[in-house]
Amino acid sequence: MQQAERRRAKRNRLFMFLGSFVVVALVCTAVYVIVTSGKGNDQAKGGPPQFKQFAHSKSVITASRPKNVTEWAGITLGKGSGDRPTVGAVNEGKPTVTVYYDYLCHVCNDLESQVGGDLVKKAAAGEITLAYQPVSVVGDVFSKKAMQADYYVASKVPEKYVEFHKKFFSDISSSAIKNRKVPPVGDIVKLAKKVGLSSAQADELEKTLSGDAYGQLAEQANQQFQNDKLTGTPAVIVNGNRQLVNWPNGVLQKVLSDLPKESAPGATGTPAQ
């Protein structure tokens, strides 16, 4: 009897230890993903850029798409005025550059700070079609809300979208990565006001996020990302070829300068009207 009790007590202590270990591991994993997401993807040092041909798998995106969002749930930027590209435009016959990103991915933040401005200028000048593909690889609610915010601003206030995208990385993402803390969803609405959305538009954005108006589209975009065998962010597709490594430190700029004059068919998709 006493031996049975001792064995039962020993088992209970073991279960409690394992349970505590799992909880701690989950918490540590969440922090680790925010800090290290993207490592091992497109950032190896040394050597020439490496590419692998990319093609979408069968589309799983059936949700209604707002204006300026493509059938792959991307947002295209084409020729505009000065340094301001036109959201929802495609520069026909020109090379395409597609960037998959998660706003909580610190390597995506690095990519944006290093080449984001150059990509936007090339799109505005009509030299490339730039396609932004927001996804959620961190798996946090915030990333999925951020995807929906991208859809909203690109479709409802397209003239503010490029600044919204840039400031999201510089203001919200940088702080989250530095502090290793997921920001509140309310920060997205605050940022929208900061870049010039009206009070009415900011209120509508808040309702969009709280009601998950584009939640199904975001979920399907994430599923498409996985089906296309893309496993990490940032993922950079240059004229139909995925750049596997060595995009930082000026290498991607060199790739862009050497681009051919024509595009790869079907590389970006068609924005909804």
**What single letter denotes the amino acid at residue 185?**
V
Among the CATH numbers 1.10.1760.20, 3.40.30.10, 3.50.50.60, 3.40.640.10, which is that of 37-257?
A: 3.40.30.10
pLDDT at 17: 42
Distance CA 73, CA 272 (A): 10
pLDDT band at 263 (very low <50, low <70, confident <90, very high): low
10 Å Cβ neighbour count for 181? 11
Altogether, the residues listed in the chain come to a count of 273
Distance CA 66, CA 204 (A): 14
Place of tokens 């929906």: 148
Mean pLDDT of 158-176: 97
pLDDT at 84: 94
pLDDT band at 248 (very low <50, low <70, confident <90, very high): low
pLDDT band at 48 (very low <50, low <70, confident <90, very high): low
In Å, what is the CA distance from 217 to each residue of 74, 108, 208, 263?
Answer: 11, 22, 13, 27
Tell me what the pLDDT averaged over the chain comes to. 83
Select the more confidently predicted residue: 231 or 148: 148
> Domain coordinates of the chain in residue numbers?
37-257
pLDDT band at 44 (very low <50, low <70, confident <90, very high): very low
Mean pLDDT of 178-185: 92
CB 190 within 8 A of CB 172: no
> Per-residue pLDDT for 193 more than 50?
yes
**Chain mean position to CA 29:** 20
Q: Which of 217, 242, 252, 259 is nearest to 59 (CA)?
A: 217
Indicate left, alpha or beta for 28 from its phi (over 0: left) and psi (-120 to 50: alpha).
alpha
* DSSP-derived 3-state class of residue 159: helix
* DSSP-derived 3-state class of residue 95: coil
pLDDT at 253: 74
pLDDT band at 213 (very low <50, low <70, confident <90, very high): very high
pLDDT at 197: 98
Instruction: Report pLDDT digits (tens) over 93-126.
Output: 999 999 999 999 999 999 999 899 999 999 999 9
**DSSP alpha helices (H): ranges in the chain?**
2-36, 106-111, 117-124, 141-156, 161-167, 174-179, 186-194, 199-210, 215-227, 251-257
pLDDT at 215: 98
CB 199 within 8 A of CB 193: yes
